[in-house]
């Protein structure tokens, strides 16, 4: 692939620390109505100096989301899909986002893709404030800055065109001089050169997905987004597709965010963030030892414990206790005993101690 920087920014986690920045000054209480939350957040935003914290330059993180709120309103109900989500993704990172169905993963990805607007909050991609882009800038952003792979291939590929034509189409309105060569290179990159004349209905789900990745890469996006790219393929094909993303990241420095349900696959990446109820709740980072050997085929990803797990602490000091730990404490009500002992914070069931 031409014009890509090899191995750029590959070792963002060499200090093995989570880089997620949590900023949830907004108190979301269950009794508050979405409008109240929204107005609290917007007035808070109005009081802040707006864009001067992130500017349009190459040193800005690839993604900076602050306090993102999304409320879907239908005549019957209002859904709080994102509840003050904060996330920072550096250039050159491969990040997986996991979370239960309905936790807000697609909502967030669609916002990154410029396909949806938030109800409140800030979102910067490549130093650009997405919510301040004009219509024309938004069109250019979608064409040049992000590439999107959907789970539903009907959305990725035009059925009346063959694979080659599908890949060359996004380049038609750009100044790319070598469109044909680039389309052939991309076919090669995803291992589909032999099927360049095939149409959508002549390809398997996994093959369509590989073509979809080539289409998303056509305009050399700075950020590649994939929503459940392995959701409807078998294990072997899912492994192949995931390895393709890993290769794009490690060999070409491509920044990638993948939403996945597949916990086994997510263990293969350097960083996994978990969304719970529209907020980042925890994060897993590949252990230093594995970062050093991440190119090695000797790692048995599915058996080894490869990642360290971190809970995310917000600015107000709140954390979400992982559900399993909370259940094992078997609290009778919502009180928990907190003690501090030689730099270790203990959380205990107060009743248990009395017995």
* CA-wise closest residue to 280 among 98, 25, 125: 98
In this structure, are residues 294 and 124 in contact, taking their beta carbons and an 8 Å threshold? no
The pair of structure tokens assigned to 103 is 């936790």
Kindly state whether residue 106 participates in binding Mg ion, applying the rule CB under 5 A.
Answer: yes
In this structure, are residues 87 and 59 in contact, taking their beta carbons and an 8 Å threshold? no
Please report how close the Cβ of residue 300 comes to ligand ATP at its closest, in angstroms. Answer: 28
**Using the rule CB under 6 A, which residue among 99, 113, 118, 147 binds ligand ATP?**
99
- Distance between CA atoms of residues 144 and 218, nearest Å: 9
Q: Which is nearer to Mg ion, 106 or 166 (CB)?
A: 106
79 interface partner picked from ligand ATP, Mg ion, none, CB below 5 to 8 A per type: ligand ATP
Stretch that binds Mg ion, among 63-71, 103-111, 277-285, 314-322 (CB under 5 A): 103-111
Q: Which is nearer to Mg ion, 9 or 100 (CB)?
A: 100
Please report how close the Cβ of residue 112 comes to ligand ATP at its closest, in angstroms. Answer: 12
Q: Which is nearer to Mg ion, 12 or 106 (CB)?
A: 106
Helix (H, G, I), strand (E, B) or coil at 68: strand
**Using the rule CB under 6 A, which residue among 67, 103, 255, 307 binds ligand ATP?**
103
Please count the CA atoms within 13 angstroms of the CA of 143 that sit on its side-chain side. 14
Footprint of ligand ATP on residues 67-86 (CB under 6 A)? 72, 74, 79, 81
Q: Which is nearer to ligand ATP, 82 or 312 (CB)?
A: 82
Please report how close the Cβ of residue 97 comes to ligand ATP at its closest, in angstroms. Answer: 9
The pair of structure tokens assigned to 26 is 């907004």
Kindly state whether residue 257 participates in binding ligand ATP, applying the rule CB under 6 A.
Answer: no
343 interface partner picked from ligand ATP, Mg ion, none, CB below 5 to 8 A per type: none
Please give the span between the terminal C-alpha atoms of the chain, in angstroms, as a whole number: 66
Q: Which is nearer to ligand ATP, 74 or 175 (CB)?
A: 74
Q: Which is nearer to ligand ATP, 79 or 336 (CB)?
A: 79
Kindly state whether residue 310 participates in binding ligand ATP, applying the rule CB under 6 A.
Answer: no
Kindly state whether residue 101 participates in binding ligand ATP, applying the rule CB under 6 A.
Answer: yes
Long-range contacts of 180-188 (CB under 8 A, 24+ apart): 182/2, 182/218, 183/214, 183/218, 185/1, 185/2, 186/1, 186/214, 186/217, 186/218, 187/163, 187/214
Concatenating the DSSP letter of every residue in 243-294 gives HHHHHHHHHH--EEEEE-S-HHHHTTSSEEEEEETTEEEEEEEE-HHHHHTT
- Distance between CA atoms of residues 162 and 29, nearest Å: 52
Q: Which is nearer to Mg ion, 157 or 259 (CB)?
A: 259
What's phi and psi for 247, nearest 5 deg?
-70, -40
Binding site for ligand ATP (CB under 6 A): 72, 74, 79, 81, 99, 101-107
Binding site for Mg ion (CB under 5 A): 106
């Amino acid at each position: 692939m031409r014009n890509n920087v090899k191995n750029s920014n590959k070792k963002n986690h060499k200090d093995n620390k989570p880089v997620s920045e949590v900023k949830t000054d907004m108190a979301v209480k269950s009794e508050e109505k979405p409008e109240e939350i929204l107005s609290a957040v917007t007035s808070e935003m109005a009081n802040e100096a707006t864009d001067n914290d992130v500017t349009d330059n190459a040193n800005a993180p690839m993604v900076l989301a602050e306090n993102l709120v999304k409320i879907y309103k239908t005549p019957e109900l209002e859904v709080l899909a994102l509840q003050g989500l904060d996330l920072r993704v550096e250039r050159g990172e491969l990040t997986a986002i996991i979370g239960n169905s309905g936790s807000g993963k697609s909502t967030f990805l669609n916002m990154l893709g410029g396909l949806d607007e938030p109800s409140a909050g800030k979102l910067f991609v490549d130093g650009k404030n997405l919510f301040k882009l004009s219509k024309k800038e938004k069109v250019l952003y979608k064409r040049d800055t992000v590439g999107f792979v959907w789970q539903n291939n009907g959305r990725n590929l035009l059925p009346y065109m063959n694979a080659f034509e599908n890949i060359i189409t996004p380049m038609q309105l750009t100044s790319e001089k070598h469109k044909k060569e680039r389309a052939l290179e991309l076919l090669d990159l995803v291992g589909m050169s032999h099927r360049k004349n095939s149409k959508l209905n002549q390809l398997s789900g996994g093959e369509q997905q590989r073509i979809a990745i080539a289409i998303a890469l056509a305009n050399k996006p700075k950020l590649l987004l994939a929503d459940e790219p392995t959701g409807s393929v078998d294990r072997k094909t899912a492994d192949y597709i995931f390895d393709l993303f890993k290769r794009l990241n490690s060999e070409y420095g491509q920044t990638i965010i993948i939403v996945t349900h597949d916990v086994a696959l997510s263990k293969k990446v350097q960083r996994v963030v978990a969304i719970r109820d529209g907020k980042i709740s925890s994060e897993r980072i590949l252990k230093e030892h594995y970062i050093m050997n991440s190119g090695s085929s000797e790692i048995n990803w599915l058996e080894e414990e490869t990642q360290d797990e971190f809970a995310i602490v917000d600015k107000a000091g709140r954390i979400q206790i992982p559900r399993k730990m909370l259940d094992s404490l078997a609290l009778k009500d919502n009180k928990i005993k907190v003690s501090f002992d030689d730099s270790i914070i203990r959380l205990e069931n107060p009743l248990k101690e009395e017995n």
